[in-house]
Amino acid sequence: MPNSSLTKASLSAAVAALLFPVAAQAQGDAGRERFRATYKELVETDTTLSNGDCTLASNRMKARLVAAGYPDSQFRVVVPSEFPKFGNLVGEIPGSDPKAPAILLVAHIDVVEAKREDWERDPFKLVEENGYFFARGAIDDKSMAAIFVDSLIRYREEKFKPRRTIKIALTCGEETDHVFDGVEYLLATEPQTLKAGFAINEGGKGWLDDRGAPRTFGVQAGEKIYQDFTLSTTGPGGHSARPHTDNPITRLSEALARTGNYRFPAMPGEAVRNFFTRSAPLYPGEQGDAMRIVGAGKDDPAALDLLSNSDPVWNAMIRTTCTNTQVTGGHAPNAVPQRAQATVNCRILPGTSVDTIHKALVEVVADPRIDVALTDEPGPVSPPPPLTPEIMKPIEKLVAEMWPGVPVIPNLSTGATDGRFLMAAGIPTYGVSAIFVDPDGNGVHGLNERVRVKSLYDARQFLHRLVKIYASAK
Ligand SMILES: [Zn+2]
């Protein structure tokens, strides 16, 4: 019965047409459940400083790689003898071209403290609710760590033979680097392990608008340097009923008014100019105009001022900033003080030396009786990584495919990640998480940290493909 068989044929065609995209998608997402299990295991392994154990988390991630068929010897958990719970997982897939520089995938597996009584849900249980995963580390940075482990498992399944060596480093202590930092430790004790042509790290993210649509895709290219300065001054003191003019609190207050009101010169770098050029279309009017001017490399004072005054983040990207953060002084309510002290916290543009800022602060303070000293040892000075086509083109290609029309926007981070150690060690480091977050930042470092389930799964696909492109590149 030709008619009915035709109907049958067209029906199966229709069914196939309906099913095929689903099947193709399912194929592209093979192992999503396995990824979810990896991610769940990682976020449910507490890695806070107070209660956690990165060594356990590293061993668990290694076990997954070994279960996927990698030789046990290919991955190591590096446990520093003095810090038994700060274990770091390192290893690599060797590339076919020994001369091609390696690619380093770095993610920290420690997390910021999270108190059960403060959170709505258990921070160390993966809870899926209303299209979100909730957990401490849901984004920062166990998302990338789980994606990297999952990608390595997929590469093995796919029998992918990279041209460039792919290195992985899941490290501990990024959030508590005053105690121990895994990247710093590995660079000091076995620098060859992390040596790479460039690194992919946390820091860059996508932003959703308030309706949940992707708005921009960020690539972090450099970060500012953190440095505290201590201002201190002393005087002879005395009875406050017979005050004299040599008063340390008064003197320090006058100096703090100067440091507080001082604006360091605008010195937007390559990533920041790029940020403004690519952000300009999102800001019609005078802000967009100013962005285009600064983006084009012109240091127009009016444009720079307009941007600085519009948004503290833009201001912080344009210049080194210092702000008064702490002050102490005096020993009794009824005495002329003998001592006053303040902390000035600076965030220094990459490439500017701590010494330059120290000298500038001494000039701004402009009082030889006030001592201006570094509060602690300066961190590494790290030049920002270059935005080469080798790095940017594959990102732009994949973004255009997965989120058509969403601009790729490099940025300078005003905070700090382990990238500062890597960049100081000569490894250009780019923040590319590919995770789109809500305008409120999704509770990273705060309460009820969360990530959209779709954002996480999309980032998994993005990074899996991106690393493959980088690793195959000539
Ligand atoms: Zn982080």
* Full set of structural domains in the chain with CATH: 27-223+383-472 (3.40.630.10), 225-264+320-374 (3.30.70.360)
Q: What type of residue is 190?
A: E
Looking at the predicted structure, is the pLDDT value of residue 9 above 80? Answer: no
User: What is the Å distance from ligand 1's center to 293 Cα?
Assistant: 33
User: What is the Å distance from ligand 1's center to 421 Cα?
Assistant: 14
Looking at the predicted structure, is the pLDDT value of residue 361 above 60? Answer: yes
- The structure tokens listed for 46 are 């507490």
SS (H, E, C) 247-300: CHHHHHHHHHHHHHHCCCCECCCHHHHHHHHHHHHHCCCHHHHHHHHHHCCCCC
Q: What was the pLDDT predicted at 169?
A: 98
Cα separation, 425 vs 414, whole angstroms:
20
Grade residue 292 by pLDDT with cuts at 50, 70 and 90: very high
R_g over Cα of the chain:
26
CA 187 to chain centroid = 19
Q: What type of residue is 460?
A: R
User: What is the Å distance from ligand 1's center to 161 Cα?
Assistant: 30
Q: What type of residue is 196?
A: A
Alpha carbon distance, N-terminus to C-terminus of the chain: 58
Q: Which helix (H) or strand (E) holds 344?
A: strand 339-348
User: What is the Å distance from ligand 1's center to 318 Cα?
Assistant: 23
User: What is the Å distance from ligand 1's center to 456 Cα?
Assistant: 16
User: What is the Å distance from ligand 1's center to 385 Cα?
Assistant: 19
User: What is the pLDDT averaged over residues 29-43?
Assistant: 92
User: What is the Å distance from ligand 1's center to 454 Cα?
Assistant: 20
CA 56 to chain centroid = 24
Residue indicated by tokens 């300078």: 412
Looking at the predicted structure, is the pLDDT value of residue 445 above 60? Answer: yes
Cα separation, 35 vs 134, whole angstroms:
16
Residues 6+ apart with CB under 8 A from 355: none
User: What is the Å distance from ligand 1's center to 219 Cα?
Assistant: 15
CB neighbours of residue 2 within 10 Å: 7
User: What is the Å distance from ligand 1's center to 187 Cα?
Assistant: 18
User: What is the pLDDT averaged over residues 70-98?
Assistant: 98
Strands 408-413 and 214-223: parallel
Compute the mean pLDDT over every residue in the chain, rounded to the nearest whole number.
93
User: What is the Å distance from ligand 1's center to 430 Cα?
Assistant: 14
Q: What was the pLDDT predicted at 351?
A: 84
Q: Which helix (H) or strand (E) holds 221?
A: strand 214-223
Q: What was the pLDDT predicted at 30?
A: 65
Q: Exposed, middle or buried, 13 (CB in 10 Å: 0-12/13-18/19+)?
A: exposed
pTM for the full predicted model:
0.87
User: What is the Å distance from ligand 1's center to 119 Cα?
Assistant: 19
Cα separation, 349 vs 365, whole angstroms:
21
pLDDT in tens, 311-335: 999 999 999 999 999 999 999 999 9
Q: Give CA separation, 187 vs 154, 222, 387, 418, 434, in Å.
A: 28, 18, 24, 11, 26
pLDDT in tens, 378-432: 877 788 899 999 999 999 999 999 999 999 999 999 888 999 999 999 999 999 9
Q: What was the pLDDT predicted at 446?
A: 93
User: What is the Å distance from ligand 1's center to 124 Cα?
Assistant: 17
User: What is the Å distance from ligand 1's center to 116 Cα?
Assistant: 20
Q: What type of residue is 83?
A: F
Q: What was the pLDDT predicted at 29?
A: 61
User: What is the pLDDT averaged over residues 61-87?
Assistant: 98
Cα separation, 325 vs 406, whole angstroms:
38
Q: Is 62 helix (H, G, I), strand (E, B) or coil?
A: helix
Residues 6+ apart with CB under 8 A from 156: 68, 69, 70
Looking at the predicted structure, is the pLDDT value of residue 299 above 50? Answer: yes
Half-sphere exposure of 310 (CA within 13 A, CB side): 17
Q: What was the pLDDT predicted at 146?
A: 98
What proportion of the chain, given as a percentage, has pLDDT over 90?
90
Q: What was the pLDDT predicted at 274?
A: 94
User: What is the pLDDT averaged over residues 365-376?
Assistant: 97
User: What is the Å distance from ligand 1's center to 140 Cα?
Assistant: 5
pLDDT in tens, 229-272: 999 999 999 999 999 999 999 999 999 999 999 999 999 999 99
User: What is the Å distance from ligand 1's center to 106 Cα?
Assistant: 11
pLDDT in tens, 92-117: 999 999 999 999 999 999 999 999 99
User: What is the Å distance from ligand 1's center to 142 Cα?
Assistant: 9
Residues 6+ apart with CB under 8 A from 71: none
Looking at the predicted structure, is the pLDDT value of residue 20 above 70? Answer: no
User: What is the Å distance from ligand 1's center to 166 Cα?
Assistant: 21
User: What is the Å distance from ligand 1's center to 57 Cα?
Assistant: 16
Cα separation, 317 vs 412, whole angstroms:
6
Q: What are phi and psi of 48, to 5 degrees?
A: -75, 160
Q: Give CA separation, 229 vs 188, 314, 340, 362, 375, in Å.
A: 26, 23, 14, 10, 5
Cα separation, 413 vs 345, whole angstroms:
16
User: What is the Å distance from ligand 1's center to 148 Cα?
Assistant: 15
Q: What was the pLDDT predicted at 17?
A: 44
User: What is the pLDDT averaged over residues 42-61?
Assistant: 98
User: What is the pLDDT averaged over residues 20-47?
Assistant: 78
Residues 6+ apart with CB under 8 A from 331: 237, 337, 338, 339
